[in-house]
Amino acid sequence: MDDAIQERLNEFIRRKGLRRTGQRDTIVKAAFSKDEHFTADELFERARKIDSETSRATVYRTLGLLVEANLLREIDLGDNQTTYDPNFLDRPSHNHLVCIDCGRVLEFEDAHMDLLNDCVARRLGYKPVRQTIKIEANCEQLRLKGRCPNLIATRLTGKRLRKKR
């Protein structure tokens, strides 16, 4: 996957008269090492493991570039920080379901949905550019059986249970 990303980034960098640097390579590598969503701070931690000199400021600046180059997309998971989604290159129009119980985020795609949104926008006199759908939902398994493996895993790791701060 890294090749396509590197190439798009190089192209973007060239077009804007910017420079390819070691720091940017490090941060890009960290960002696309998994297909998981991440926050600026999580990326900072990952990048530090590759190069411990990495600064938060550069992480933020590089995130800005990657979003502008359409390699990352900002999503809002309802905690008060921006989450970055590295999966829009592969699936350009996916959306998110956030489990209210455990905070788990599922991605889904639906062509009908895309089409419908497109129609709605046009009917209103607009040309749709981007659509964001977030479904917040409860886990059926938890509701019916009183337990949900994700919730248990979440509690164990303490990750992604980010409500309001």
Partner DNA sequence: GTTATTGCAAATGATTTGCACAAGG
Partner DNA sequence: CCTTGTGCAAATCATTTGCAATAAC
Which 3 state secondary structure label does DSSP give 97?
strand
Q: Left (φ > 0), alpha (ψ -120 to 50) or beta: where does 13 sit?
A: alpha
Which 3 state secondary structure label does DSSP give 69?
coil
Per CB under 7 A, 15 contacts DNA: no
86 within 8 A of 1, measured Cβ to Cβ: no
Q: Which residues bind its own copies (CB under 8 A)?
A: 76, 97, 99-100, 106, 108, 110, 112-113, 116-117, 120-122, 124-141, 143
Which secondary-structure segment (H or E) carries 120? helix 111-123
Task: Report the partner that residue 6 touches, choosing among its own copies, DNA, none (CB closer than 5 to 8 A by kind).
Answer: none
Q: Which of 6, 33, 82, 87 binds DNA (CB under 7 A)?
A: 82
Sequence-distant (6+) residues with CB within 8 A of 111 are none
Nearer to DNA, 64 or 128 (CB): 64
What minimum distance in Å lies between the beta carbon of 117 and DNA?
Answer: 26
Q: Which of 30, 54, 72, 139 binds DNA (CB under 7 A)?
A: 54
Q: Which of 6, 33, 58, 93 binds DNA (CB under 7 A)?
A: 58
